[in-house]
Amino acid sequence: AQKVTQAQTEISVVEKEDVTLDCVYETRDTTYYLFWYKQPPSGELVFLIRRNSFDEQNEISGRYSWNFQKSTSSFNFTITASQVVDSAVYFCALSEPRDDYKLSFGAGTTVTVRA
Amino acid sequence: ETGVTQTPRHLVMGMTNKKSLKCEQHLGHNAMYWYKQSAKKPLELMFVYNFKEQTENNSVPSRFSPECPNSSHLFLHLHTLQPEDSALYLCASSHQGQGYGYTFGSGTRLTVV
């Protein structure tokens, strides 16, 4: 069964628009970790954020913000005032103790920001 | 510098060739992973090594042969590959059994002709 679902396959926006990427996860553990990674065209997956299951505070880092809602098992990611450099594939991932903390990745969302 | 270095960045090989992909990390991690990423497909976990021991092989064909001589180095030996094996191969490392996530290398883009 898919543990992490990223329902949006591709999103295309014009520069300066906001874009929100959805991530829904499934776990039976009470302690777990959620991640977002960015994969630019160069190929490397770049770590963006790690959130543990006991911290539901939303987080903001520059133009990036994350909304963690345990009640809906969602960990959504918003890019504010998007820029062309934000064009990439974004992956949401789940890490659970029952799986020895291996990362389970969603299928990824391709974001294209047009100038 | 990502902390995880993969070489080569690009590789073109014939179906009868033998080649190896190399991954190196100096982050003090004790787990290393090989992932395959084909076009328009999700990341596929291939192999997991913890403390140099292989702990997971996700039904990977025998034409892919991993080797982990120590906790800092990981190889993927390739022989008699098929064109459908063309993909981006990503290496990652982590602290085994801890939820800190992975550090990824830049990947090797492999083309089998």
- What does the alpha-carbon distance between residue A92 and residue A6 come to, in Å, rounded to a whole number? 7
Residue A43 and residue B90: Cβ atoms within 8 Å? yes
Q: Nearest Cβ partner of A95 from B90, B101, B106?
A: B101
d(CA B82, CA B63): 9
Per-residue pLDDT at B67: 95
As a dihedral over the C-alpha atoms of residue B7, residue A39, residue A97, residue B22, rounded to 10 degrees, the angle is 0
CB contact under 8 A, A103 and B100: no
Tell me, what's the pLDDT at A80?
97
Average pLDDT of span A27-36: 94
pLDDT band, very low/low/confident/very high, at A105 (cuts 50, 70, 90): very high
For residues A6 and A89, is the Cβ–Cβ distance under 8 A? no
Instruction: State how far the alpha carbon of B18 is from the alpha carbons of A94, B11, B63, in Å.
Output: 35, 11, 10
B88, B102, B103, B106: best mutation site toward chain A, by most A Cβ within 10 Å? B102
- Average pLDDT rounded to a whole number, residues A85-90: 97
pLDDT in tens, B33-62: 999 999 878 899 999 998 878 888 888 999
pLDDT at B1 over 70: no
The pLDDT assigned to A63 comes to 96
pLDDT of residue A1: 64
Contact B25, B106 (CB under 8 A): no
pLDDT for B100: 86
Is pLDDT above 80 for B8? yes
| Nearest chain A Cα distance for residue B41, angstroms | 7
- Pull the structure tokens for residue A64: 């990036």
| Bigger pLDDT: A85 vs B96 | A85
**Residues B4/B25, Cβ–Cβ less than 8 Å:** yes
| Range A34-51 average pLDDT | 94
CA distance A49 to chain B (A): 10
| CA pair distance A112, B20, nearest whole angstrom | 34
- Which percentage of chain A shows pLDDT scores above 90? 85
- Name the minimum distance, in Å, from the CA of B63 to any CA of chain A: 24
> What is the percent of chain B with per-residue pLDDT over 90, rounded to a whole number?
77
Whether residue A97 lies within 8 A of chain B, CB to CB, comes out as yes
- pLDDT category at A99 given cuts 50, 70, 90 is confident
